[in-house]
Each structure stands twice: as C-alpha cells, then as structure tokens.
Amino acid sequence: MSDDPDTRERDGPGYDAEDRGLVPGLASALLFAVMAAAFLGADLGEPAGFELGEYGITHEIGFALFNLDIGSLAGSTEGFLAAFLIVALTLDVAIDGALYLAKREEDGTIVSAVGSAFTAGRKAGEGGE
C-alpha cells in the first residue's frame, strides 16, 4: 500500500480525510460561487406562457397523445408531445441500462438485479457463444 493519499484506499486503515488538503473543497466552493453569480445575475426576460384554451395544457397533450381532434389547439401541443416522448424514451433507456449494469458476483456466479435474464446462468469470467 502506498503512502500517497491519492492512491490509498478510501476506507483503508491508513486513509485520513485531511490528507486531501483544502484545495478540492475550496475549488468546489469557488465553482458554486461562480455558478450562483451567473445564474442570479442572468437576465431571463419576461416569462412567456402557453395560450390557455378551453382545456389546460395537460389535457391538450393528452388529446394529442391519443390523436383526438379538439380543434385548432391540438396543433400547438405537438412540440410538447415530442419533448415528452423524447424524455420518456431517454429515462426508459437510463433505467434499463442501470438495471443491466447492476450486477455483482457471489461465489463466482454473476448475480444480476433482474435475475438471470442478462447473465444466462454463466459464471464470472465465462464468455458467451
């Protein structure tokens, strides 16, 4: 084991949190201050809302999802619908990837968060066909 604080185990017996010094903490505080100043000092202008029709925006997106004709207001929700579907697919891919990557080994066997669906019962180190 090395005495260098950057290469020692974080939870090991020889690791002391004070070995890292003040530089990382000061750097993060400085970054926070710069970002806070940028966000608080930004001129965002007047907020522009969505035209409220007979229904609210939530109802109109629902009508667009199910391809229901509610008149001229349905066309103004298509941008919201596209953004909604893109975010939904992105979150679905993220959760699927997290479940796929959530694996651990017990007694030389790969144990997955979703059972043996992705491991096919193989032991660690064994390749596929």
Instruction: Please write the tens of the pLDDT for every residue from 1-37.
Output: 556 555 555 555 665 656 667 888 899 999 999 999 9
Confidence tier at 81 by pLDDT (50, 70, 90): confident
Domain ranges of the chain: 1-43
Task: Provide the CA 35 distance to its chain's centre, in angstroms.
Answer: 20
Average pLDDT, integer, range 69-90? 72
Residue 123's nearest CA partner among 104, 106, 110 is 110
Confidence tier at 41 by pLDDT (50, 70, 90): very high
- Global pTM reads 0.36
Percent of all residues in the chain with a pLDDT value above 70, rounded to a whole number: 51
